[in-house]
Amino acid sequence: MEIRGRAKMNRGEKTFGILITFGILFLFWILLSGLFDVFHLIAGVICSGIVTLMSHDLMVKGKDEKFIGKSLRLFWYIPWELWQIVLANIDVAYRVLHPKMPIDPLLIEFETPLRSDFSLVTLANSITLTPGTITISVEPEKGTFRVHAIAKEPADALLVDQTMQRKVAEVFFVEWSGTDQPTKP
Amino acid sequence: MVLVNGMVTLFLAGGLFFTLVGSIGLLRFPDFYTRLHATGKCDTLGTSLILIGLIIHHLFHYSGTPLVPVRLLFLVFFIFIANPAATHALMKAAYEVGVKPWKLGDERR
């Protein structure tokens, strides 16, 4: 009984993944072709079907109860991230155009409580896009990031303030209050 | 229409400025890692600003084909995902091969 129930749930997850992947692929086909006659729609169904068969397990890995909450929080996080990108570019432009080139590169390492692939990718991409820092490597097991910073201030933003790590942890519902602070009960 | 054209010009000028700064940084910065700082960031925002300018221009001047701006918007989206990933891949490859980061006071390479 137990096993049958589990098998059924797995099949449900698989169907869910297949449907989501197929839907997104077909929407994308319509968007790119822009033609609504029968030939192009059927060709789209066939092509999306083949791609779905090959790669439906890449996009959706099982159901996640907090999926909608995470997506909403991610959309709330993106505007802040875009603003950080503008600041990053002004920062780089200043360093490039300044006659004395105020740079002092250093390597830093820090740990985060993030473990899931998507949260690690989000934080790594955010670090690369924000002022003066680029991710060099990530250890998925320990959540360790190695980062190249162009000067001391951007490194301090990651090591001391930790605004970005906190925001990403909040998006992915990870309980955390900074590495140096004692954890509250 | 003057307002739209002004906005489009502003976006295109901003994009050109950041792309230019990225190129200057590529020439001025001392080593591999710092050069990637210049190109990785400025190319992302510069290209995106140019594309946003084109989207606005297309929306107002060729409103008969609304799918084209949507495609351009997807282009912006993919650039924002792919560009940091590519920068990170280059950085990681260089670090694992053993390229030494430039320190303040070293010769430029």
Sheet with A106-111, side-by-side order of all strands:
A106-111, A144-149, A133-139
B105 belongs to a structural domain: no
Per-residue pLDDT 10s for chain A (185 aa) are: 334 444 445 667 778 778 888 888 999 898 888 878 889 899 999 999 999 888 877 766 555 566 677 778 888 888 888 888 888 888 888 888 888 778 788 888 888 777 777 788 888 888 887 777 888 888 877 778 888 888 887 777 777 777 777 777 777 776 665 554 433 33
In-domain check, residue B108: no
Within-domain flag for B109: no
Nearest-by-Cβ selection for A92 from B31, B37, B84: B37
Number of domains, chain B: 1
B91 close to A148: Cβ distance less than 8 angstroms = yes
Q: Do A128 and B92 touch (CB under 8 A)?
A: no
Which residue range forms the structural domain that includes residue B47?
Answer: 2-97
Residue B49 forms part of a structural domain: yes
B/e letters for A34-64, b = 16+ CB within 10 Å, e = fewer, are eeeeeeeeeebeeebeeebeeebeeebeeee
A134 at interface of B, judged by CB pairs closer than 8 A: yes
Q: From CA A164, how far away is CA A119, in angstroms rounded?
A: 12
DSSP-based three-state secondary structure for A39: helix
Residue B23 is assigned to a structural domain of this protein = yes
ipTM field: 0.78
- Chain A, 99 to 128: residues with Cβ < 8 Å from chain B are 101, 103-107, 124-125, 128
Q: How far is B37 from chain A (nearest CA, A)?
A: 7
Q: Does B19 touch chain A (CB under 8 A)?
A: no
Query: What tokens appear for A64 in the block?
Result: 């996640």
- Give pLDDT tens digits for A156-185: 777 777 777 777 777 777 666 555 443 333
Say if B103 falls within a structural domain.
Answer: no
In a domain, B50, yes or no: yes
Q: Which of residues 28-57 of B touch A (CB under 8 A)?
A: 28-31, 33-34, 36-38, 40-42, 44-46
pLDDT per residue as tens digits for the range B14-47: 999 999 988 988 888 888 888 888 888 888 889 9
User: Which of B23, B34, B37, B58 is most worth mutating to test chain A (most A CB atoms within 10 A of its CB)?
Assistant: B37
> CA of B91, closest CA in chain A: separation in Å?
6
Amino acid in the structure at residue A178: G
Chain A residue closest in CA terms to B38 = A92
Question: What tokens were used for A85?
Answer: 């990108």
Q: Is residue B32 part of a domain?
A: yes
